[in-house]
Amino acid sequence: TMKGIETLVRESGAYVSRRVFSDADIYKNELENVFGRTWQFVAHDTQLPKSGDFLTTFMGEDPVLVIRQEDGSIRAFLNACSHRGPLLCMAEEGNAKSFSCPYHGWVFGADGTLLNVPREGGDGYHHQLDKGQWGLQSIRVESYKGLYFANFDPAAPSLRDYLGDFAWYLDAIFDPLPAGVEFLGGTMRQRLKCNWKIAAENIVADTYHVLAAHAVAVGVCMGDRGMQIGIEVGEKTDVDALGISATIDGHGWNANFDGQGIFGLFKDPAPWLAYVNRQRQRYIEHLGERRAWFVGSSIDGGVFPNFLFVPGFTFRQIHPKGPNECEIAMWTVVERDLPPDLKREMVRFNARMLGTSGMFETDDCANMERIAMTVNATQGSRRDSHYAMGLGRERERSDLPGLIDQRVSDTCFRGYYRRWAEFMQAESWREIPLAPRKLT
Ligand code: FES
């Protein structure tokens, strides 16, 4: 555990030392205390439809292999040969009955068992190798609404408890209709030269940057069609019209209730507006009157620490690759009921906007790498980053779970860094609190 965290994250998360974005010791501790204990997204149901389907991902810096089993369940393993440790599966995804190590040829089943060892008998191991002891290291997996998360810590609470009341928000994007959603078009990946939290906070919490960082891109996309994207202020004064920020146990949700803000930047919003308006009654029946209006609204947020979403633009995960580098994996996510031509259009649109070379993504990456330039320098690393917008205005509300303020505020940053500090300080999960759950 890390001593002195309270000097790094101060005043309820309003000021955070820039050392947390560059220091190698802090980073090493994070791999243990954050990535060794939190529930991390590993796959969506629709990425692995058939038995034997697999994909490779990461938890912290550990390569992980995720496989659909014969009984339909999903299991995850360290993607490391149990003999001497090389990466076992080098493919990003595929279908396989077994996995053979390229080094000495040990063969593992889809359930992680060691099936076959060359020279197991008198010409090698003399039948003294207990294959039952040398299967792949299995990792705990649990699911919520088609999302599979994994956790290295046997003492961690259940995924459902970890998500707590935040699940109420997640339903609006992962369970908007009974048919659910689908991950489409494969995985886009890119490397970025900045600390993983800089890439994560941008989406967990940062609506404010859209106004300046993306001003040109927004202008190009909107032209003069006169739509709004949901973060304009104008005459709006009440919190619901301004949108909300909600933070629960480090998870963040920043959203509007207009039911159409996503589509303001689309090439042709008309068929999308027609689709959500046609479905609106079904959203209301499935999600209730309040949450139904999240569908189609501009939203950004994430599950602590690194699973993030901007519905309509891309869903993503940030993998740490050292204190000053990260890898972003991105997906297009759509409702399964969406007509096929709109599904195809969403894949293209996601690539154009928040794909690896998308108009909005490149704005963000430039700013994130500019942060990395100063937080690693001697004087710059001694400064604090400022997350004090709206400090003290967060409120509990009877109609929405979490601590709430208007959308353009630093509420979700503060929640995120308070949670980060809790994980960094705790000896074990016994010292990590979970917000009391109000909803079932
Ligand atoms: Fe994999 Fe030897 S390291 S079989």
Query: Is residue 166 within 8 Å of residue 254, measured between CB atoms?
Result: no
Beta bridge partners of 80: 87
Residue 104 Cβ contacting ligand 1 at under 6 Å: yes
Query: Is residue 27 within 8 Å of residue 34, measured between CB atoms?
Result: no
For β-strands 98-100 and 93-95, DSSP reports them as unpaired
Q: In this predicted structure, what is the pLDDT of residue 3?
A: 75
Would you say residue 358 has pLDDT above 90? no
Mean of pLDDT values over 407-435: 97
44 noted as active-site residue: no
Residue 99 Cβ contacting ligand 1 at under 6 Å: no
Query: Is residue 320 within 8 Å of residue 61, measured between CB atoms?
Result: yes
Mean pLDDT of all residues belonging to the chain: 93
Among 381, 428, 433, residue whose Cα is nearest residue 8:
381
Burial of 164 (0-12, 13-18, 19+ CB in 10 A): buried
Would you say residue 227 has pLDDT above 80? no
Which carries the bigger pLDDT value, residue 91 or residue 210? 91
Residue 440 pLDDT level (bands cut at 50, 70, 90): low
For residue 102, count other CB atoms closer than 10 A to its CB. 11
Mean of pLDDT values over 221-232: 70
| Crossing angle of the two packed helices 359-375 and 196-204, in degrees rounded to 10 | 130
Beta-carbon contacts of residue 25 (< 8 Å; ≥ 6 apart) = none
Q: In this predicted structure, what is the pLDDT of residue 366?
A: 85
C-alpha dist (Å) from residue 67 to 73, 182, 187, 387? 8, 18, 17, 40
Catalytic residue of the set 45, 104, 111, 240: 104
Q: In this predicted structure, what is the pLDDT of residue 116?
A: 98
Sheet holding 53-59, edge to edge: 40-44, 147-151, 138-144, 74-78, 62-68, 53-59, 93-95
For residue 184, count other CB atoms closer than 10 A to its CB. 18
Residue 232 pLDDT level (bands cut at 50, 70, 90): low
Q: What are phi and psi of 141, to 5 degrees?
A: -130, 135
Mean of pLDDT values over 319-346: 96
Tell me, in angstroms, the distance from the centre of ligand 1 to residue 65's CA: 16
Residue 103 Cβ contacting ligand 1 at under 6 Å: yes
Residue 119 Cβ contacting ligand 1 at under 6 Å: no
Q: CA-based Rg of the chain, rounded to a whole angstrom?
A: 22
> Residue whose CA is closest, atom 4 of ligand 1?
104
Would you say residue 236 has pLDDT above 70? no
Query: Is residue 27 within 8 Å of residue 138, measured between CB atoms?
Result: no
Secondary structure (DSSP) of 380-417: GGGSEEE--TTTT--EE-SSSSSEEEESSSSHHHHHHH
Would you say residue 398 has pLDDT above 80? yes
For 62-106, how does the pLDDT look when each residue is reduced to its tens digit (9 = 90+)? Answer: 999 999 999 999 999 999 999 999 999 999 999 999 999 999 999
Mutate to test the pocket of ligand 1, among 90, 101, 108, 116 (most ligand atoms within 8 A of CB): 101
206 noted as active-site residue: yes
275: three-class secondary structure by DSSP:
helix
Burial of 284 (0-12, 13-18, 19+ CB in 10 A): middle
Relative to the CA of 84, which ligand 1 atom is closest? 3
CA dist., res. 293 & res. 280, Å (int)? 8
Residue entry with tokens 């205005």: 393
For residue 290, count other CB atoms closer than 10 A to its CB. 14
Q: Provide the ipTM.
A: 1.00
Q: In this predicted structure, what is the pLDDT of residue 157?
A: 98
CA dist., res. 421 & res. 304, Å (int)? 12
Residue 355 pLDDT level (bands cut at 50, 70, 90): confident
Query: Is residue 265 within 8 Å of residue 218, measured between CB atoms?
Result: yes
165 noted as active-site residue: no
Mean of pLDDT values over 346-370: 83
Beta-carbon contacts of residue 438 (< 8 Å; ≥ 6 apart) = 165, 401
Would you say residue 238 has pLDDT above 90? no
Burial of 190 (0-12, 13-18, 19+ CB in 10 A): middle
Tell me, in angstroms, the distance from the centre of ligand 1 to residue 187's CA: 28
Residue 229 pLDDT level (bands cut at 50, 70, 90): low
Residue 397 Cβ contacting ligand 1 at under 6 Å: no
Mean of pLDDT values over 107-116: 98
Q: What DSSP designation does 282 have?
A: H
For 249-289, how does the pLDDT look when each residue is reduced to its tens digit (9 = 90+)? Answer: 999 999 999 999 888 888 899 999 999 999 999 999 999 99
| Token pair for 173 | 């994007």
Domains located in the chain, CATH noted:
42-143 (2.102.10.10), 159-431 (3.90.380.10)
161 noted as active-site residue: no
Q: In this predicted structure, what is the pLDDT of residue 228?
A: 67
Mutate to test the pocket of ligand 1, among 65, 81, 120 (most ligand atoms within 8 A of CB): 81
Q: In this predicted structure, what is the pLDDT of residue 223?
A: 77
Mean of pLDDT values over 303-322: 96
